[in-house]
Amino acid sequence: MMVVATSSFVPYPGPAERLARKGLQALALLLAAGLLHTQASPSARSFQLDYEHNCFRKDGAPFRYISGSIHYARVPRPAWRDRLLKMYLSGLSTVQVYVPWNYHETLPGVYDFTGNRDVEAFLDLTAELGLLVILRPGPYICAEWEMGGLPAWLLWKPDMTLRTSDPAYLAAVDSWLHVLLPKIRPRLYQQGGNIISVQVENEYGSYYACDYGYLRHLLGSFRALLGSEVLLFTTDSAGAQELRCGTLQGLYATVDFGPGSNVTEAFGALRRVEPKGPLVNSEYYTGWLDYWGEAHASTSAAWVARGLEDMLQLGASINMQVVSWQRALLSGVYHRYMFHGGTNFAYWSGADYKDQYKPVTTSYDYDAPLSEAGDPTEKLFAIRTVISKFQPLPVGPMPPATPKYAYGWVALRKYADLLDVLDVLCPSGPIQSQFPLTFEALKQAYGFMVYHTQLPWDVPDPATLGAPPHSICDRGYVMLQKEYQGTLERDGQTTLHVTGRGGDTLDILLENMGRISFGANTSDFKGLLGNLSLNSRPLSNWQIYPLAIDTAVQQGWPQAALPKSSSAGRVGPAFYTGTFETPGIAWDTFVKFPGWSKGLLWINGFNLGRYWSRRGPQQTLFVPGSVLHVGRPNNITVLELEEAPPSPLLLFLDQPLYNRTLGRSTMATE
Ligand SMILES: *[C@@H]1O[C@H](CO)[C@@H](O)[C@H](O)[C@H]1NC(C)=O
Ligand SMILES: *[C@@H]1O[C@H](CO)[C@@H](O)[C@H](O)[C@H]1NC(C)=O
Ligand SMILES: *[C@@H]1O[C@H](CO)[C@@H](O)[C@H](O)[C@H]1NC(C)=O
Ligand SMILES: *[C@@H]1O[C@H](CO)[C@@H](O)[C@H](O)[C@H]1NC(C)=O
Ligand SMILES: *[C@@H]1O[C@H](CO)[C@@H](O)[C@H](O)[C@H]1NC(C)=O
């Protein structure tokens, strides 16, 4: 049953033109719905808006969904079914799914839909389990994902204006949509599939451009490729400006807010742009993501359950999702939510920007109802209890937490300093350039590049090696004569003092920590964006090495390579290797980095993401059992960037350390 919050209806106060526009929109869709309704036979599959009764209608009957979000790109494929089954058993009827463009179109016109990127296999599983799907194919998704899901190669054209009607951007978007949406169309509800609605863009109202031409273009492309029947919608935070710039005639408007906000007010704001139709909270957030260097966040289960109950009593359709800080601040909420967050493996974590660059941690646990390792939490059971008050739960027990294994201590040994293996990591050799070039200029999307030059003169007294503001993106590990000198950091330390002789080698390893995924400006270029200078005189004559570390590691390096005689030093970027065996079954595990500083971990060639134990709060990385082998050694490769401990050991635990119990929460939960 849909209950309408009529008490929250506030007459639209904005420009009359907009009122007319939205009024026309409602009228147009109402007519369309009526038309479809009269033409449809009783057995026809339909999913529509009912403006008269303020609800959705599925096959003609009033319908409400309770959905949760899951990002297939953050969950190892072997675990997809398990996570979806647990969502189903929690009482969700629907899952909300983002499609990250950059995960699939790896280079312009080069597509990957294999393995973990097989979005169609994921959608098949949702259908098999009887779940409906709300699809959010972007092209921009935010999701705290690298560049909000936009491919870094868009920045190869540095003057491209993202998320606007810039023709170069639209051409890239259209060519992607022509590949993706034909895979989606047969899965639409009206075509016999389980996708009930499709979101266009994401929180566009929070983007500075406010370009209706762009939204109109997307609407046209989505309609052309998906047909006229599918329900297309937008999602924005409940602020007036966001709802003004993020909504468009022909796209049903929904809002996002968390349990701390005033439900009546938030839906009241929605009513101002969407006077009739179902009330939808597309992102109800009750968890919170972690940033490196900040306290671990958590939200109480009781608080989440209470907010959910309020909303269900209002009769709204909701989805449990994530947001970024601006949206949270605007709606007065400090909570975010995923039903199952997962992990930012490899280089996929994004970043936010608030006063400074804030990279997101590798874990995307989010304090969500299903933990990072896919286990039901107290919050899941609290939510399930609330849902059971409104609709029957599916039959069947919730699977218990899967076993985790503490494989214990594993000794590593140093393989080589990074600067000694550039021939392997950059087989095509360096690019010569008078002045530094960005990652994008050299078509390097993620990871690392080395900038190499020589001191142009003798520096007997300490001289300042420095970079202009905002030009170290995002961290630069400085080596003089291959000796580590320290780290330059975006919005942090941007100078070091060095001494040396003319001709001494100077190397800076630049690290991309993830492109900004939300905010006014997503053109987040990486690398050395300005001239490095010595006592204010710009250095020149660079040799730049784009590194293909993952290609090498996936091919078995360095285990398969000849041993390297390397310096015994512990500081500076270097590779460490080791092995461990799994007894019997390859259980999930969590690996801790005691005394290590910052770097990356691969096991059997799989990139498990960044660790940064020195900064925290995350202290362990999740290792899914599916990457481990039974009966033969598992090969570990660590790239430590700053300083390894005197005894290079890893510790495999049976539980994660997010500082959940030690950290203070970022918000008051009471
Ligand atoms: C929510 O907002 C409405 C309208 O502004 C107000 O009347 C109500 O008291 C608020 N509720 C709470 C719990 O703050
Ligand atoms: C976005 O950032 C890029 C690179 O810093 C800059 O060139 C561009 O002007 C910025 N755009 C806006 C709208 O701020
Ligand atoms: C680096 O310095 C050179 C010479 O002063 C200048 O031409 C160039 O624009 C500078 N590059 C950047 C990115 O500032
Ligand atoms: C680990 O490395 C060894 C040595 O190169 C290789 O023989 C073995 O196949 C690798 N094991 C796995 C699981 O990749
Ligand atoms: C997290 O816990 C570890 C271990 O107790 C501690 O060393 C670290 O400082 C904590 N980090 C944060 C950000 O609270």
Give the integer Cα–Cα distance in Å for 93 and 108.
Answer: 36
Ligand 2 atom with least separation from CA of 525? 4
Local structure of residue 641 (DSSP, 8 states) = S
CB 235 within 8 A of CB 256: yes
Q: Does the beta carbon of 659 lie inside 6 Å of ligand 5? A: yes
Output helix, strand, coil percentages for the chain, rounded to the nearest 5. 25, 30, 45
Pairing of strands 110-111, 132-136: unpaired
Q: What is the distance between the alpha carbons of residues 424 and 427, in angstroms, rounded to a whole number?
A: 5
- Report CA(322)–ligand 2 centroid distance (Å): 26
* Cβ of residue 521 lying under 6 Å from some atom of ligand 2: yes
Helices 167-184, 212-226: axis angle to 10 degrees equals 30
CA distances 479 to 199, 468, 482, 598, Å, are: 47, 19, 5, 16
Alpha-helical (H) ranges within 288-393 are: 301-314, 325-330, 378-388
Instruction: Return the closest-CA partner of residue 237 out of 137, 360, 322.
Output: 322
Q: What is the pLDDT of residues 41-87, one digit of tens each?
A: 445 899 999 999 988 999 999 988 888 999 999 999 999 999 999 99
- Tokens 């080395």 locate to 450
Rounded-to-10 torsion of CA 534, 535, 538, 541: -30
Protein residue with its CA nearest to atom 3 in ligand 2: 523
- Which helix (H) or strand (E) covers residue 199, if one does? strand 195-199
Name the closest ligand to CA 436: 3
What number is the average pLDDT over the span 192-211?
96
Tell me the pTM.
Answer: 0.89
Integer Cα distance of 159 and 211 in angstroms: 17
Given a cut of 80, is residue 434 above it in pLDDT? yes
Q: Which residues, including other chains, have CB under 8 Å from residue 79's CB and lie 6 or more apart?
A: 374, 624, 626
Residue 25, pLDDT above cutoff 70:
no
pLDDT for the residue 42? 47
Q: For 194, phi and psi rounded to 5 degrees?
A: -120, 10
Instruction: Indicate which residues carry an active-site annotation.
Output: 203, 283
Ligand 1 nearest-atom number relative to CA 268: 4
Residue of minimum CA distance from atom 12 in ligand 4? 604
**Which residue in this structure is represented by tokens 């309770």?**
66
Protein residues whose CB sits closer than 6 Å to any atom of ligand 1:
262, 264-265
Question: What's the CA-to-centroid distance between 165 and ligand 2, angstroms?
Answer: 16
Name the DSSP letter for residue 517: -
Residue nearest atom 13 of ligand 3, based on CA coordinates: 530
pLDDT grade for 660, boundaries at 50, 70 and 90: low
Pocket test for ligand 2, best of 155, 353, 523 (most atoms within 8 A of CB): 523
Does ligand 5 have an atom closer than 6 angstroms to the CB of 663?
A: yes
CA nearest ligand 4 atom 5, residue: 560
For residue 131, give both structure tokens.
Answer: 């779940």
Cα of 486 from ligand 3 centre, angstroms: 24
Task: Return the C-alpha torsion angle 248, 253, 258, 260, nearest 10.
Answer: 90
β-strand partners of 256 = 237, 283
Copy the structure tokens of residue 216.
């109109």
Atom number, ligand 4, closest to the C-alpha of residue 559? 5
- Between 307 and 635, the more confident residue is 635
Q: Which residues contact 393 (CB under 8 A, 6 or more apart)?
A: 89, 91, 384, 387
For the stretch 17-42, what's the b/e string if a residue is b when 16 or more beta carbons lie within 10 angstroms of its beta carbon?
Answer: ebbebbeebbeebbeebeeeeeebee
Q: What is the mean pLDDT of residues 16-33?
A: 30
C-alpha 338/C-alpha 285 separation (Å) is 7
According to the model, what pLDDT value does residue 308 have? 78
Ligand 2 pocket member 665 (CB < 6 A): no
Straight-line distance from the first to the last Cα atom of the chain, in angstroms, rounded to the nearest whole number:
31
Cα torsion through 336, 516, 509, 642, rounded to 10: -20
pLDDT for 504 equals 98
Index of the ligand 5 atom closest to the CA of residue 295: 13
Distances (CA, A) of 557 to 65, 267, 657, 667: 49, 55, 30, 45
- Mean of the per-residue pLDDT values of the chain: 87
Task: For 453-492, write each residue's pLDDT tens digit.
Answer: 999 999 999 999 999 999 999 999 999 999 999 999 999 9
Q: For the stretch 562-601, what's the b/e string if a residue is b when 16 or more beta carbons lie within 10 angstroms of its beta carbon?
A: eeeeeeeebbbbbbbbbebebeeebbbbbbbbeebbbbbb
CA-closest residue to ligand 3 atom 5: 538
Task: List, for residues 341-390, the tens digit of each pLDDT value.
Answer: 999 999 999 999 988 999 999 999 988 899 999 999 988 998 899 889 88
Residue 5: pLDDT above 50? no
Q: Which atom of ligand 1 is nearest to the CA of 262?
A: 1
pLDDT greater at residue 336 or residue 608: 608
pLDDT tens for 572-631 read 999 999 999 998 899 999 999 999 999 999 999 999 999 999 999 999 999 999 999 999
Secondary structure E strands in 403-534? 408-411, 413-417, 431-433, 448-454, 459-466, 472-473, 475-480, 483-489, 495-500, 505-511, 527-528, 533-534
Q: Are 151 and 102 in contact (CB under 8 A)?
A: yes
pLDDT in tens, 533-566: 999 999 999 999 999 999 999 999 999 998 887 7
